[in-house]
Structure formats: structure tokens, C-alpha cells
Amino acid sequence: MKLDALVKSIVPVSVTGSLDRDITGICYDSRRVTEGSLFVAMKGDKVDGAQFIEAAVEKGAVAVVSEQKEFATKAAHIEVTNARQALGDLGAAFYRNASHALKIAGVTGTNGKTTTAFLIKHIMDDAMMRCGLIGTVSYIVGDRVIPASRTTPEALDVQELFWQMRSDGCKSCAMEVSSHAMIQERVRGTEFDAAVFTNLTQDHLDFHGSMEAYFEAKALFFAHARDQKKKTAKAVINIDDRFGVKLAERFGRDISSANMPVITYGLGLRSDFRASQLKMDFSGTSYQLDALGKSYLVRLPLYGNFNVYNSLAAIAAAHVLGVNVRTSVKALAAAPAVPGRLQAVPGKRPFRVFVDYAHTDDALINVMKTLRELEPARLIVLFGCGGNRDKTKRPRMAAAVDSLADYAIVTSDNPRKEDPLAIIEDIKPGFRRLIPEIILDRREAIFKAVAMASNRDIVLLAGKGHETYQEFADHTVPFDDAAIAASAVSAPRESDNQSAQKGGWK
């Protein structure tokens, strides 16, 4: 693509050098620069991309976009006021505004983003609207599954994924939109059809500083969707959540240029998509759905009230994307399990083991309440807290476990650069009723939790979910809760040589 055509997508402060150049690709990482690249120098949390301009030029960059006023180089220089915004706009232009050709549902919120996005993808695929996925677990383009580096990639990578989806024959995309992504302009250049809000509970305060700032970061997503140029987006909002009510009021239905159409969901009578008569057993969850003047019986092979909310969001979002409700309901009956989201560990034992990504007190409470509905003899919960993250939630997570578990094991999560024992000391004050067992080594802790389980017990391994690694100060090691739990479940037990225990789950 010609540089002069690309530059028309942004508003430069100044331009130095000729724009009559062919651009073969755009990069924000100098290590990926090849001959003919346009290098965008962004300021990161730790380093400034401007430090690598000369290196990028030496590797073949023929043009540079940066916030610097001037520098000596043989490449063309385009000065901008905000390099992150420029990256999104340039990426959208380079990849031919691929988001315009896709039906896109963006999902934001503290909990439920991943499951909701997976359910939207499943519905869209079932409705013959081949759907891509961008989220915490993976990026899916057609039949390709790409390990996710972060929930929402950088703006340029998002645009490239859209281009790949479109080239692969996708008609739609479900993507998670994190609060970090909104602050860092990662959906810049993307136009949405549906903007979905799941809920807001305490998390990421190490980044945002306060719940108010966290909420405002989420609200930025809806402002972005409201103000986009080509598409008229609709908001899909959980109004059983108090922050959802605030969003619905702010971006409400009043006929005004400052507002957008809002579709609500929840368990309350005022919801446009409403669930009632919820029932749960080991086959999953069922409920009555009232929407658009009709009633439906929804059968969902997933557990819990929180998955009722996730499925309501998915049905409403799919409706916005053009799928009728009956088709969505039929599709959900065969919805796949989402990796690390109340994932059952296989094994013929008289107890059950589940792995879940719950890493906030609210998520823990929701998962434990769900498992309590299965009436276990005991609920054994293993959890930890990540290092270099919001410290204030550590005792809150302990208090959550203390309120609903019968036995607690506290272990390491991803300690990162913190002392694992110091993290556990921050957790312990939240316990009032239980005396937790402390096992620093997570593998040892998982084996202990499984070994102590007996008839009709449920073991919950919380915090890491789908992750296949564990982060320490100076290294990262392979670590998969589900795989380790499967090994623990299959390990020989004394009871294996005795007569079959009565009353267990098979």
C-alpha cells in the first residue's frame, strides 16, 4: 500500500520526507521490521519505542510514525500527537477496514467475558455465520487456533486478525474487550455491531486505582461503539448489575445523538431478555427465556446462574448480529465447555473435581454457590492470588472461600516478582471460620486436595483455569491445573483395593 494513502487515515502534526513509498507492512516491534515496513514508535509501560527507531530503519523501515518532533534518519517521518491512536487508524486502513465487513460483538466486564464470547461464536457458527474469536483463551480464525498473548491484542494485531477472518470466509467475530484495551486504544479502528456488558466487580485496581476509574474504562467501550462512523451499534447490558444500570442510563434509549439503542438482560421483569424458573443438575442448567414477546425453554450444558447470564448475553448479542432467538436457543443446547471455566476433570471416582479461572472474590462466590447447588458432602476449595496485582482483593478472596467452603487450601497462583509466602500472608486475614491449609507448591496442593476427597465431595481448583504456565520472578514453567488434577484423580488410592464405596458420584 502506498504511504501517502495510509497517511490519509491519520492527522499528522508534520511530515518529513517523501510519502511516495510502498509499504509492505506495519510494525510496532522493531524486531519484526522487514524491508519496506512502516514502524510506529509507541510509548510502552517500560520502554519507549522511539529508542528503537534507528534500529527499525536499519532493518528496512522506510517510514516512521512517532510522537517525536524530529530525528536524523533516511526514512520518512510522520509526527503525530498520539502514536497509539495512529496505530489503530493505520492498521484499519492497511487491512482495508475489515471490521466493516464482519458482524462484530465486543464483550466487556469483569467476569463472564470469555464464556459469553465462546457462546456467541458457537451460536453464530451454528447459524452458518462462520465466526472468529479474539479472547483470553485463544484467537480463532476459521480452523486455526492461535494461543492468546493477551485478552485484547494491540490495535494493529486486532486489525490483522479481522483481515485474516474475512479472508478465511468468516462472516462474524466475537471478541473480548478488556478495560486495559480501552485505556490503551487497542480497539481503535474497529467498528462493532453489538457492545456487551456482563458485570463489574473489584479487579485490576492495581492498574485503574479505583472502582470509579475501572467503570469509566468500561464506559469508554460504549462511547467508542456509540460514536463510530459506519455502523450503528447496539448495547447489550446486564441490568441486574448496578454498574450495568449506570451504563444503561448513560447510553440509554432517549432519541438523541448522544445515545445508542440499548437491549437489556437479566432476571428482573424489566429486562428485554429475561430468564426465570432456573433449574440445575449434573446435566447442566435450564430456564425459561422471555424475549421479544415469546417464551422459550433454554437447556444449557453449563452450570450455574452466572452461565445463565452469559447465555442471555450471547442470545441477545446474536439477535443484534442477525440470528433469531429460536436458532440461538437450539444452538445453546449443544454449547461446548469453555476451557478453564468450571471445567470438569474426567475420572471415575465417587467425587468430582472442577477447574475454574475464578480469580476475584465475586467470581469465587458465584462458582461456589453453583457447586453448592449440587449438594456435595464437602466443598474443598484450593486457590491463591497472583503477584504484582491488586493486593486489596487477597483477603476478600479468602473471605469468599471462608463463607462457602468446607475446607480451604491456600497455595501459589502466579507469584511473579512477589514472594509467594508474602502473598499468602496477605490472604490469611480474610479467614474467620476456616483454618486454611497452606501448601506453597501448587502441584503438591492439587494432589492433596484430590487425595482428601471422598464420597460426594466436590473439589474446586480456582484461579488459573485455562492457563498452561506458572509465572515466577525470573522464569515461567509449564503448569496446567486440569492436567495435573487428571493425574491426581487417576493416581492409585487405598480405597481402590476395597469394595466400591456406596453413594458416590460416578
Q: Is the pLDDT of residue 72 over 70?
A: no
pLDDT tens-digit series, residues 55-68: 999 999 999 999 98
Residues 303 and 375 in one domain: no
In a domain, 502, yes or no: no
Residues 69 and 158 in one domain: no
- The pLDDT value given to residue 46: 78
In a domain, 219, yes or no: yes
Indicate the average pLDDT of the chain: 93
List the domain range (segments joined by +) for residue 117: 98-332
Confidence of residue 225 (pLDDT cuts 50, 70, 90): very high
**Vertex 341 angle, CA 471 and 111, to 5°:** 85
Task: Tell which of 275, 301, 332 closes a domain.
Answer: 332
Q: Is the pLDDT of residue 334 over 80?
A: yes
Residues 133 and 116 in one domain: yes
Residues 430 and 324 in one domain: no
Residues 297 and 366 in one domain: no
pLDDT tens-digit series, residues 401-452: 999 999 999 999 999 999 999 999 999 999 999 999 999 999 999 999 999 9
* Cell output for 440: 506453597
Higher pLDDT residue, 201 or 379? 379
- The pLDDT value given to residue 505: 60
pLDDT tens-digit series, residues 131-190: 999 999 999 999 999 999 889 999 999 999 999 999 999 999 999 999 889 999 999 999
Residues 66 and 183 in one domain: no
In a domain, 240, yes or no: yes
Nearest CA among 106, 103, 123 for reference residue 231: 103
In a domain, 418, yes or no: yes
Task: Tell which of 281, 297, 332 closes a domain.
Answer: 332
Give the amino acid at 349.
R
Q: Is the pLDDT of residue 256 over 50?
A: no
Q: Is the pLDDT of residue 500 over 70?
A: no
Higher pLDDT residue, 360 or 274? 274
Output the domain CATH number for residue 188. 3.40.1190.10
Task: Tell which of 44, 60, 94 closes a domain.
Answer: 94
Residues 219 and 247: beta-carbon distance below 8 Å: yes
* Cell output for 285: 442448567
Residues 429 and 284 in one domain: no
- The pLDDT value given to residue 123: 98
- The pLDDT value given to residue 149: 84
pLDDT tens-digit series, residues 232-243: 999 999 999 999
Residues 72 and 125 in one domain: no
Output the domain CATH number for residue 407. 3.90.190.20
Indicate if the alpha-carbon torsion angle 381, 386, 387, 390 is positive or negative: negative
In a domain, 503, yes or no: no
**DSSP class of residue 330?**
H
The percent of residues above 90 in pLDDT, for the chain, comes to 85
Q: Is the pLDDT of residue 501 over 90?
A: no
In a domain, 337, yes or no: no
Q: Is the pLDDT of residue 102 over 50?
A: yes
- The pLDDT value given to residue 206: 63
**What's the residue count for the chain?**
506
Contacts by 159-162, CB closer than 8 A, 24 or more apart: 159/88, 159/91, 159/92, 159/94, 159/95, 159/98, 159/99, 159/189, 159/190, 160/91, 160/95, 161/132, 161/134, 162/95, 162/98, 162/99, 162/102, 162/104, 162/132, 162/190
Residues 351 and 311 in one domain: no
- How many domains would you assign to the chain? 3
Could you identify the residue written with the cell 443484534?
Answer: 320
- The pLDDT value given to residue 203: 66
pLDDT tens-digit series, residues 122-135: 999 999 999 999 99
What's the rounded Cα separation, in Å, for the pair 1 and 24?
7
Residues 370 and 312 in one domain: no
What's the rounded Cα separation, in Å, for the pair 466 and 9?
38
Give the amino acid at 443.
R
Q: DSSP for 376-392? A: -S-EEEEE---TTS-TT
- The pLDDT value given to residue 495: 63
Lay out the sheet containing 138-141: strands in order across.
144-147, 138-141, 131-134, 172-176, 103-108, 194-197, 234-238, 262-266, 273-281, 284-291, 294-300
